[in-house]
Amino acid sequence: MDDSVPSAIVAAGEQRRDLHDGASLTVGRRSSCDIWIGHASQGPEDDGVSRHAATITSVSDRISILNESRTRPIAVKVHGGAAYLVNPGHLVSLVDRRFELVFEGRVHTYRLSVTRLGPADESPMRTPTTTAGPTIDELDLTDRERRVLAAVCEPLLTGLGGEPATYREAGRRLGLTPHSVRNVLDGIRNRAVLLGIPGMEGPSGKEAIARFAVWSGIVTAHDIKQALPPIGVVGEP
């Protein structure tokens, strides 16, 4: 391939970088990174973003993403396809033409789009090589679980707040007790743990499952409209 022709385009807001075959781009809060996210020049410095959060590399017909953070997973959402969480220190390698990387900071959520250029490889035998774990398709929800998860995720999806709803707040929306909400959410988290989805255990497990549900599209704004009564109206238990 001609070195002057990029193999992929990586964009984050107004930032746009060409990625050539055999080359890498770095992403993070450090000013030496090729793409800045959470940097003070963009607003409040977001220390929830690692100084060097990820390295994106083009190798032949694949784009690889290495999570360089020690603590933060990266969500990878393939356009029209699966979603993954890439654990700290892990690598995912994709042949997909378009996908999005989602970095969760303390101040904002940062999204990078990656578009691979050149002839599309539409062979059904070509699949991503990944150490990122299971796809979201394996985490099936009952109608009741979807309503509860939608209530917990509502502030994240509607702009009403930067944190998931509490058990009490979600219960009030659904006409359930906080204990019932917690039991349902614990059941979802336990299945997520068995599937190998990271970060679902411990005191931050509720926040982790809510943010993962939003990142990966398990729960969307459509679910809020379908599963929850209008704000101010108590739902059925």
129 has a pLDDT exceeding 90: no
The predicted-structure confidence for 186-219, as pLDDT tens digits, reads as follows 999 888 877 766 667 777 778 888 887 887 778 8
The predicted-structure confidence for 145-157, as pLDDT tens digits, reads as follows 999 999 999 888 8
Q: What is the dihedral of CA 127, 58, 99, 29, to 10 degrees?
A: 140
Gap between the Cα atoms of 229 and 192, Å rounded: 27
Which pLDDT belongs to residue 207? 81
Closest CA to 40 of 52, 53, 27, 31: 31
pTM above 0.85, yes or no: no
